[in-house]
């Protein structure tokens, strides 16, 4: 090694010591010890290239997939001239010049990181959403069985059933329950091996391990888990090799008396393209579905969400609007709430019903069931024990005029009809009459409980 190479090597070694310290702090002890601690700095030929080596092809692929960009960014903070960071496989005993670091040197990892499931293998700490806990999950009849089953799986001691199979539509709470299980299980068993991944990640890691002929570490990693959670199982449909490995993983986990939780967007028997033996194995555990949230549950979820935003003041009618209009998924519902809260904060405007409608615009229209003025007139007349003809008549008695104003208000709020069109549907009235009716009902909703209650009931029925 000439003087130039020695200087370059020393420069990179010092930078690597700082990078390692940063990674250890940000990644946490478990993930760092398992995946990043075995990395060695290898002598590079070019000053703008950093070469790192790992003892296993599987570990190399994992680090490239999860930390390639982060490693490059970290090195550039200390060595701005570095253009690339190369991660390669270099087993022990290979001819290579490994640079030493003047800080305490890490212990050299053995070639076979996971020689056997009981070899003391350390798993990375799962990346869990901190908000997804049991106490933040709103329960009602649509999800009670799944919720209770999830809590049971997380309890200490031998699991009462395994696997637990959760199924339901997108954004209905499956991922929330899976993360809640992991949180509760780790709270009771801090040193437990918990692995949480999507079926797509399972497939990607398995194929990568097969490609480099290093499936042993992959299998040991999964089968050493005390709790294994796999989401979106439907994505392995038609993948024969992946399904073969998945089947054996199920058998190993369940056979060892460990916990397995799987989620998908449909029940096991409806998973087209999934092998019958896998479906049978999943059905041998507990299958729990999460039904689509109804209006009361959506409203309760929004109330809970607002409670977590102490600085946000969201009027009840805005929450009613979101709960009634957005019913495709809980995730979309919560996203809509966060959007109006954020926009109000950024613009300094008052968060009221008009602001919510203006902000969400297309989202509300796309989710809204098409309500007609005829439907509104029919329902309002039934609610107030009138005839539909009364609402379009010239009668001005309060028992008719007030319901007529409510019907106009609802027509303006729930349909895309213009003010003149609404006026014509109410006996050929002028658009100014419609404006007056809308403003009057808005005022009364703030001061008259009976009017407000009637409007809420009608809104729920029309938007259900």
CA pair distance 80, 101, nearest whole angstrom: 20
Residue 152 annotated as binding? no
Q: Which residues contact 254 (CB under 8 A, 6 or more apart)?
A: 162, 163, 260, 281, 285
Bridge partner residues of 168 (DSSP): 290
Query: What phi and psi, each to the nearest 5 degrees, are found at residue 155?
Result: -70, 150
Contact 461, 375 (CB under 8 A): no
Contact 280, 132 (CB under 8 A): no
Cis peptide before 163 (omega within 30 of 0): yes
Q: Which residues contact 441 (CB under 8 A, 6 or more apart)?
A: 405, 406, 408, 409, 451, 455
Residues in the chain: 464
Residue 169 annotated as binding? no
Query: What phi and psi, each to the nearest 5 degrees, are found at residue 245?
Result: -70, -35
Among residues 398, 390, 397, the alpha carbon closest in space to that of 427 is found at: 390
DSSP per residue, 207-225:
HHHHHTT-HHHHHHHHHT-
Placement of tokens 């935003």 in the chain: 309
Q: Which residues contact 100 (CB under 8 A, 6 or more apart)?
A: 13
CA pair distance 183, 128, nearest whole angstrom: 8
Residue 439, helix vs strand vs coil: helix
Residue 239 annotated as binding? no
The DSSP 8-state label assigned to residue 56 in this structure reads -
CA pair distance 85, 49, nearest whole angstrom: 6
Placement of tokens 């549907």 in the chain: 425
CA pair distance 41, 110, nearest whole angstrom: 16
Neighbours of 195 (CB within 10 A): 19
Tokens of 39: 């990395």
CA pair distance 109, 100, nearest whole angstrom: 15
Residue 10 annotated as binding? no
Binding residues for ATP: 171, 173-175
Binding residues: 171, 173-175
């Amino acid at each position: 090694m000439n003087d130039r190479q020695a200087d370059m090597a020393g420069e990179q070694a010092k930078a690597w010591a700082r990078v390692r310290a940063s990674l250890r702090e940000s990644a946490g002890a478990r993930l760092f010890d398992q995946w990043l601690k075995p990395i060695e700095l290898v002598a590079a030929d070019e000053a703008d290239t950093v070469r790192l080596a790992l003892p296993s092809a599987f570990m190399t692929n994992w680090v490239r997939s999860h930390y390639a960009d982060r490693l490059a960014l970290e090195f550039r903070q200390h060595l701005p001239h570095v253009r690339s960071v190369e991660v390669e496989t270099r087993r022990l005993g290979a001819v290579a010049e490994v640079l030493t670091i003047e800080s305490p040197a890490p212990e050299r990892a053995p070639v076979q990181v996971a020689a056997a499931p009981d070899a003391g293998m350390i798993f990375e700490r799962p990346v869990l959403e901190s908000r997804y806990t049991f106490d933040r999950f709103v329960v009602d009849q649509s999800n009670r069985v799944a919720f209770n089953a999830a809590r049971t799986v997380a309890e200490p001691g031998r699991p009462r059933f395994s696997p637990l199979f959760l199924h339901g539509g997108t954004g209905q709470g499956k991922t929330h329950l899976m993360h809640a299980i992991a949180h509760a299980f780790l709270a009771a068993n801090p040193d437990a091996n918990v692995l949480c991944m999507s079926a797509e990640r399972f497939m990607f890691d398995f194929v990568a391990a097969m490609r480099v002929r290093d499936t042993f570490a992959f299998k040991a990693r999964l089968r050493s888990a005390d709790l294994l959670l796999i989401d979106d199982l439907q994505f392995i449909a038609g993948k024969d090799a992946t399904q073969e490995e998945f089947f054996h993983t199920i058998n190993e986990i369940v056979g060892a008396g460990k916990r397995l939780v799987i989620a998908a967007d449909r029940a096991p028997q409806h998973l087209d393209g999934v092998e019958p033996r896998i479906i049978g194995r999943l059905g041998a555990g507990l299958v729990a579905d999460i039904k689509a949230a109804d209006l009361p549950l959506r409203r309760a979820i929004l109330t809970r969400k607002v409670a977590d935003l102490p600085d946000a003041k969201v009027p009840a009618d805005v929450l009613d609007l979101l709960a009634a209009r957005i019913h495709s998924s809980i995730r979309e519902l919560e996203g809509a709430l966060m959007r109006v809260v954020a926009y109000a904060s950024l613009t300094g405007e008052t968060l009221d019903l008009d602001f919510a409608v203006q902000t969400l615009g297309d989202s509300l229209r796309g989710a809204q069931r098409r309500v007609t003025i005829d439907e509104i007139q029919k329902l309002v007349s039934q609610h107030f024990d009138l005839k539909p003809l009364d609402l379009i008549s010239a009668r001005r008695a309060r028992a008719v005029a007030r319901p007529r104003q409510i019907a106009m208000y609802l027509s303006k709020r729930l349909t895309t009809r213009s003010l003149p069109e609404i006026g014509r549907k109410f006996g050929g009235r002028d658009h100014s009459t419609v404006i007056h009716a809308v403003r009057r009902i808005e005022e009364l909703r703030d001061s008259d409980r009976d009017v407000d209650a009637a409007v809420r009931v009608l809104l729920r029925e029309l938007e259900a």
